[in-house]
Structure 1
């Protein structure tokens, strides 16, 4: 029995050795790729035709006004807008992956976690990169793709024209201006003598309790959003009296057909304010919380939380707007939006800060309260009421 077992083992071993010389049948994943092939190597070899077939191009970039940032739920930034134009020409969607620094961008590109580096990358000699696309010869910067992806590089080079940069900057400037909002400007007070603010006062009074706000505060916010024009709309898709985004409307159960109707629009905004208010229950003072909610309505909840994290880091009170407002402004400064405690990067802080300022001042006006000198970012550092003036701040 021992010899038979030995001979059987020997024969089995020999067969296995012979099998080693033969090509093993490939085990395939559900996507039809060999099981042994890593995801990284699959991604690195993605050609332009693969990207088109996949329907998505992955853009690696940095946060910042020139690169990419979230603006009212839309991507913004010169490099992002250019990359979006390119994806439109090849008929694919654009996905953005924000990196911390240049090193991370290059490493992720080489690992196949992205298709293109879309930012002003200095054109140093790097073995794994192929510079292509948006190129500024005077500054020595360019986009980059993985060196094997020559097809994508050639397509980028044929697509890009130097004049595109100025064209996109002009478009971006318009998008960030009030000129991009289509609306009729009405008076902020319909009848001061009788205390009538607008034609929609009865709706503010009806739905303000949902937000647990004074109805005049809701009216002040409405004027800031649309100047009481129910047909107001922006390039970004914000609609109606309270400038509600379609995605937000869907979340609130407001149909597209009702976006421009005053009552459903105001009712939905009150529900949305109530939801944001619930997220700031850690801000104990109700009056303080109003500023946090307004800032979130305009600039985004996550950015406000970033400003709170910065306030805490620098020894300020993260639950007082006088402190947090200063860091809302600082989120447009690379020193702060690149801080490790900041999770959502750059924001147009002056716009959001000014939004809160103006609504608070108008609310005081509607109540017959003098606004005085306005709000202050921190003791000894006064910020002006109007966004046209330059803000100053310190840490």
Structure 2
């Protein structure tokens, strides 16, 4: 069943923009001209669903589908990122791109200026709650009476909850969150971490976050369904027609379904296998300790660090592949591994994986050579290993802008890595790599350094 998605665009802002657009009309560039040029340019939003960069590779549900379309027609895919939803349409009308791939709501008022096409989706708002025993969960909207629901101030979620409260005769305790830096995804995280009990989100955002937090339920709808879609200019009907035909033909294919599964079904968290150390010899942390020791010198760090990275990436399982496509013991992306001379099945070879992982750590260590304190530098290296060095340099740039130290991780750059999940920070002109789920990177750094120390203690105890 196709995923239902809703991405509302501010109608007032769009209509003002459309009325005010003047200047030279962009040259018509329909599908025939696009094929001749060999390139398609999409206009998108940097977000957890449409487009982001992770481990230095472009990703996103909408991006992956656009890439599949381009690969099918032998086109190079170019990406332009809009600052906000209103700018999506402005950039399209100005001829800065061929196709909007962040779904916009289907509204009659816009049908005279754009063509809805391609990925067409339907969604609604849902209640986000923890998965407790069935009899203690909210299964009907009437059960929200007397419950505290946390909502971002002056958003569509806030308005819907106010209307629902009025429909029920009042009684929902609406906790209005006015802090600008708190996002919908922050509130979902707070539900998962038992800081609050309920919030509201679009179904697609809720489903994506369920792949990070296994203890949340997003099954209760709170609003009517609303359609949304990709869009092209009115003067490129052939492109719209081709997109519609491609989606009609490919929406049932294995490739299409795998993209859907990648973002909205596969768990983004490592498998917490409590027995992972049960079958290793006493005093060892894995079956690969000798290989970690063999290549530790290449990394510039002790072998326990390599072991800890491998544990975090794969739980010492050489055949594993992550949701993002990272493969093997050291969780290497195929494109990254290719730079170091290995590809394909080589990624699942434990020794080759550890060797390349050590080489990558050494390369990243060199990128942050200005950081004199080696323990602090390691944290930069681990953040870059996990999220990509571009996001770390973005966070350093933000630290400089806000008068923090760009060469200290703890309490400085660490803070801005987390803030890169918020539009006011990842859209800042000093950032070049857009959205990042920064809390995951910060947690990764903490877990790897903590497990490194635990692995050291295992060795010490075995010798005593």
| TM surpasses 0.5 | yes
1:61 shift after superposition: 1.0
- State the match for 1:336 in structure 2: 425
CA distance 1:232–1:54, change in 2 (3 Å)? same
Q: Distance in 2 between matches of 1:268 and 1:171?
A: 25
1:135 shift after superposition: 5.0
- State the match for 1:345 in structure 2: 434
1:226 shift after superposition: 1.3
Q: Whose radius of gyration is greater, 1 or 2?
A: 1
- Helix, strand or coil: the match of 1:231? coil
Q: Distance in 2 between matches of 1:139 and 1:257?
A: 44
Q: Distance in 1 between matches of 2:437 and 2:334?
A: 22
Q: Structure 1 residue 129 and structure 2 residue 114: aligned? A: yes
Q: Distance in 2 between matches of 1:104 and 1:151?
A: 24
- Helix, strand or coil: the match of 2:230? strand
- State the match for 2:268 in structure 1: 177
Q: Which of 30, 37, 43 is the equivalent residue of 1:60?
A: 43
CA contact (8 A) 1:68 1:78 kept: yes
- State the match for 1:48 in structure 2: 31
Q: Structure 1 residue 248 and structure 2 residue 339: aligned? A: no
Q: Distance in 2 between matches of 1:315 and 1:139?
A: 44
CA contact (8 A) 1:244 1:269 kept: yes
CA distance 1:52–1:175, change in 2 (3 Å)? farther
1:174 shift after superposition: 2.4
CA contact (8 A) 1:328 1:349 kept: yes
Q: Structure 1 residue 289 and structure 2 residue 289: aligned? A: no
Which gives a bigger RCO, structure 1 or 2 (Cα 8 Å, sep 6+)?
A: 2
Taking only aligned residues, the RMSD between alpha carbons, in angstroms, comes to 3.4
Could you list the runs of 5+ residues in structure 2 that have no partner in the other structure? 1-23, 123-224, 252-256, 459-464
More moved, 68-77 vs 262-271:
68-77
CA contact (8 A) 2:56 2:389 kept: no
- Helix, strand or coil: the match of 1:250? helix
- Helix, strand or coil: the match of 2:348? coil
Q: What are the residue-to-residue correspondences of 1:1-395 with 2, within 5 Å?
A: 44-84=27-67, 86-87=69-70, 92-102=75-85, 104-121=87-104, 123=107, 125=110, 129-135=114-120, 142-157=229-244, 171-175=262-266, 177-178=268-269, 187-188=276-277, 194-323=282-411, 324-368=413-457
CA deviations on 1:242-266 (whole Å, 9 max, x unpaired) are 1222211221122545322222221
- Helix, strand or coil: the match of 2:40? strand
More moved, 296-305 vs 63-72:
63-72
- State the match for 1:376 in structure 2: none
Could you list the runs of 5+ residues in structure 1 that have no partner in the other structure? 1-39, 370-395
Instruction: Normalising by structure 2, report the TM-score.
Output: 0.61
1:83 shift after superposition: 3.3
Q: Distance in 1 between matches of 2:40 and 2:301?
A: 44
Q: Distance in 1 between matches of 2:456 and 2:261?
A: 40
- Helix, strand or coil: the match of 1:233? coil
Q: Aligned residues, how many?
A: 325
1:59 shift after superposition: 0.9
